[in-house]
A and B are shown apart, each in its own frame.
Chain A
Amino acid sequence: MAAPMNIVGVFRGHSKKFLRIQIIIRQSFCTEADEHEYEKKLAKIRDCSGLPDRLKRKVHGGSPDLSFAPTFKGDKRNRLRKMYAEYGAASGINPGIMYPSKAELEDLLEIEEDWTPTFQQMKQAIENEKAAEAEIARLRDEKVEKAMGKMDELIQQYNKKQKKLEEDIRLAEENTTLLLQEFRDRYGFSVSASSIKFRMFKNAKADEIKEEKKQKKRQSKKDASMQNLQALLNEQKS
């Protein structure tokens, strides 16, 4: 709606070359709303800052644009929180949005109760762990001590065993030399200890010895039984 225009004044510029006339045009308005609109229009024209809308609002102490479309779940709340942080109470946002909701608070409490050990629980758990480790170590040490106690005895046993082995070997060697000599005496020629002839001779000798032993045993048994019989007869006689 075109408002009537009045030429308020004319002032001449100071230049000598040409007369510069600046005409100040002032509009008279029907209503305050019109004036306000006009002022806004002027402000828009005068504004050559090149700032984007968001920053313009921020610089002029205004409130942010709350009519944005959220991109994902939780986007709106995050952005509103950041807006509050940026603009303060002038943003018009309810500061309660910055806190977790009641449901979320419940969740947090639940998580803490179920999954977060308290100071005492942690301390106790660590103490238990340490006690268990100490117990295992103690048992091991005891076992080792016990075993070490037997050490002297075991050493003695071992030495004994070794001696016996050596003794046996020595005796076997002696025996072999004797047998070799016997072989030589009997058959008139020498053999080595590992030859088959000597081994057969040795086996035969061993069998011989066995037979002798058996005979001896039989004889001793016979003698024993004879003695018994004799004793019985003597008893009967007397």
Chain B
Amino acid sequence: MASKVPEKALNLIRNYPRVALNGLKPIENDYRYKSKPRRSRMKATQSGRGNKGQGQRMTLPRIGFEGGNTPFYLRIPKEPYYRGHHLRREYPPFSLLQLQRMIDLNRVNIDEPIDLNSIVNTNIIKINPGDQEFGINLTDEGADIFQSKVCIEVQWASEATIAAIERNGGMITTRYYNTECLEAICDTLGFFARGIPIPRCPLPPRDAFEYYTNPDSRGYLADPELVKKSRFKLAQKYGYEPPNYDTENDSELFKMKDPRQIFFGLNPGWIVSMKDKAIIKPKDPDYVEYYES
């Protein structure tokens, strides 16, 4: 009979655990100092729970209980201005200074329009749609040093910020995305891995509608003519030449998305297959109608 050693050896190799981080041996003369648990002999067996009493016996009362008197959380009245504050939309700040730094370090490409997706893809800032975060608020910190000509799309911007961008010949638009769309934007690869079509973005809710239809905040739903007028007025106010977007060089740069569109170059209803490097589009007229409406 042929020797079984090779087979046995191969069996061993096959059954050994894979080389992974959990299977590495520390280097020789490992200089990491292990912290010793500092405890007395008596306390060692108490699992950090102390001795006797409610603490050790897991019979402590609920949080906030004060021994019987009306506790703080019941005694103090609710302030009306906090009503629904846990449901309010949050727009984490992102300053012009950070943006300028990103541009200077080539983290974003200013030859293309910058939107929330490109900013989040830099992995410098993170937006969590699950935490009631609805996008970024472009703040005016660094407005005095901002020097780039960009076409940027954010979710909230103040007058000073808008002036800073437009003074340099750039274009700024404020745009609303709902949570579903944000999940697609903020973790795009994760979204594509789910195998669902790109959602179509709905209109903003009632309390945001006014902001996004207001030309002074450069809302994406505002009348373009009024936005032009607003740009001119702002230029007069802050003392610079109003920007001109009609030049030949910048035809690729100054683009705006359709109100339902989330990604540039991709329409709602399309599915991006990263594995096949292909896009799947629906053909059925009902679906086409729905996604294009």
A122/B195 in contact, CB under 8 A: no
Contact A86 B193 (CB under 8 A): yes
Binds B, one of A97-105, A139-147, A207-215, A226-234: A97-105
Residue of chain A at shortest CB distance from B189: A85
User: Cα distance A98–B195 when bound, in Å?
Assistant: 6
User: Nearest chain-B residue to A87 (Cβ)?
Assistant: B275
Q: Which residues of A contact B271 (CB under 8 A)?
A: 95, 98
**B interface size (C-beta, 8 A):** 33
B2 touches A108 (CB 8 A): no
A153 CB to closest chain B CB, in angstroms?
A: 40
**Residue B194 at the A interface, CB < 8 A?**
yes
Q: Is the CB of A123 closer than 8 A to any CB of chain B?
A: yes
Partner of A122, one of B14, B194, B203, B275: B203
Interface size class of A (residues with CB under 8 A): 35 or more
A48 within 8 A of B: yes
Query: A48 contacts which of B7, B14, B203, B209 (Cβ < 8 Å)?
Result: B14
Q: Which residue of B lies closest to A97 (CB)?
A: B195
A46 CB contact (under 8 Å) in B10, B192, B194: B10
Which chain A residue shows the least CB distance to B277?
A88
Q: Which residue in chain B gives the minimum CB-CB distance to A95?
A: B280
**CB-CB under 8 A for A45 and B213, given A86-B275, A98-B197, A119-B203:** no
Bound-state Cα–Cα, A220 to B162, Å: 94
**In the bound complex, do residue B213 and residue A89 qualify as a contact, i.e. CB atoms below 8 Å apart?**
no
- Which residue from A51, A102, A118, A119 sits with its C-beta under 8 Å from B286? A102
B16 engages A50 (CB within 8 Å): yes
> Can you name the residue of chain B whose Cβ is closest to the Cβ of A108?
B290
A200-224 residues with Cβ-Cβ distance < 8 A to B are none
**Cβ–Cβ contact A81 & B10, under 8 A:** no
Task: Known A48-B10, A49-B18, A123-B213; judge A81-B195 contact (CB<8 A).
Answer: yes
Contact, CB under 8 Å: A119 / B221: yes
Q: State which residues 73-105 of A face B: CB under 8 Å.
A: 80-90, 95, 98-99, 102, 105
What residue in chain B is nearest A25 (Cβ atoms)? B2
15 sample A-B contacts, Cβ–Cβ < 8 Å, listed by A number: A47-B14, A48-B13, A48-B14, A49-B18, A80-B195, A81-B195, A82-B194, A85-B193, A85-B194, A89-B273, A89-B276, A95-B271, A105-B286, A126-B209, A126-B210
Question: Residues of B at under 8 Å CB distance from A?
Answer: 2, 7, 10, 13-18, 192-197, 202-203, 206, 209-210, 213, 221, 271, 273-276, 278, 280, 282, 286-287, 290
List residues of chain A with CB under 8 Å of any chain B CB: 23, 25, 45-51, 80-90, 95, 98-99, 102, 105, 108-109, 116-119, 122-123, 125-126
